[in-house]
Amino acid sequence: MPRSSNQKMKPLYLAQIMLEHTDERNPMNAQDIIRALAAYDVPADRKSIYDDIDALRQFGLDIELIRGKNGGYYVASRDFELPELKLLVDAVQSSNLITDRKSNKLIKKLSALTSKEQAKELNRQVHIKGRSKTLNETVYYTIDSIHAAINTNKKISFRYFHYDTSKKRVYAKEDKRYIRTPVAMCWNEDNYYLITFSSEHENPLATYRVDRMSDVEIHAEKADKFDKTKFSVSEYIKQNFGMFTGEKITAKLKFDKSLVNVVLDQFGADTHLMKTDDGNFTIKAEVAATPVFLGWMFQFAGQAEIIEPQSLRTAMRDMLKTAGKLYGK
Of 232, 253, 280, which one is at a domain's C-terminal end? 232
pLDDT digits (tens, 9 = 90+) for 141-178: 888 899 899 999 999 999 998 887 777 888 987 878 99
Domain extent at residue 303? 241-325
| Mean pLDDT for the stretch of residues 126-132 | 48
Same-domain status, 281 and 315: yes
Residue 45, CA distances (Å) to 10, 30, 322 in order: 12, 8, 82
> Number of folded domains in the chain?
4
Please tell me what DSSP assigns to residue 256.
Answer: -
User: pLDDT class for 6, splitting at 50, 70, 90?
Assistant: confident
**Cis, peptide link before residue 309, omega less than 30° from 0:** yes
For residue 49, tell me if it sits in a domain.
Answer: yes
pLDDT at 241 over 80: no
CA atoms within 13 A on the CB side of 240: 16
Q: What is the CATH number of the domain that holds 29?
A: 1.10.10.10
* pTM for the whole structure: 0.57
Close Cβ partners of 262 (under 8 Å, ≥ 6 residues apart): 255, 300
pLDDT at 193 over 50: yes
Residue 136 pLDDT: 65
Report percent pLDDT > 90 for the chain.
52
Q: What does pLDDT average to over the chain?
A: 87
The alpha helices in the chain, defined as continuous H runs, are: 10-21, 30-38, 46-59, 82-94, 100-111, 116-119, 139-151, 233-240, 260-267, 291-298, 310-325
For residue 132, tell me if it sits in a domain.
Answer: no
For residue 143, tell me if it sits in a domain.
Answer: no
Residue 37 pLDDT: 95
**73-87, 170-184, 243-257: segment of lowest average pLDDT:** 243-257
Of the ranges 3-12, 40-49, 181-190, 260-269, the best mean pLDDT one: 40-49
For residue 204, tell me if it sits in a domain.
Answer: yes
The residue that leads in pLDDT, 103 or 159, is: 159
Compute the residue count for the chain: 329
Q: What is the CATH number of the domain that holds 304?
A: 3.30.70.240
Same-domain status, 310 and 250: yes
For residue 90, tell me if it sits in a domain.
Answer: yes
- The DSSP secondary structure of 199-214, one letter per residue, reads TTSSS-EEEEEGGGEE
Pick from 29, 33, 26, 31: nearest CA to 10: 33
Euclidean distance between CA atoms 71 and 195, whole angstroms: 56
Measure the N-to-C terminal CA separation of the chain; round to a whole number of Å: 91
User: pLDDT class for 77, splitting at 50, 70, 90?
Assistant: very high
Same-domain status, 178 and 219: yes
For residue 141, tell me if it sits in a domain.
Answer: no
For residue 184, tell me if it sits in a domain.
Answer: yes
Same-domain status, 176 and 218: yes
For residue 66, tell me if it sits in a domain.
Answer: yes
In the chain, % helix, strand, coil (3-state, to 5) comes to 45, 25, 35
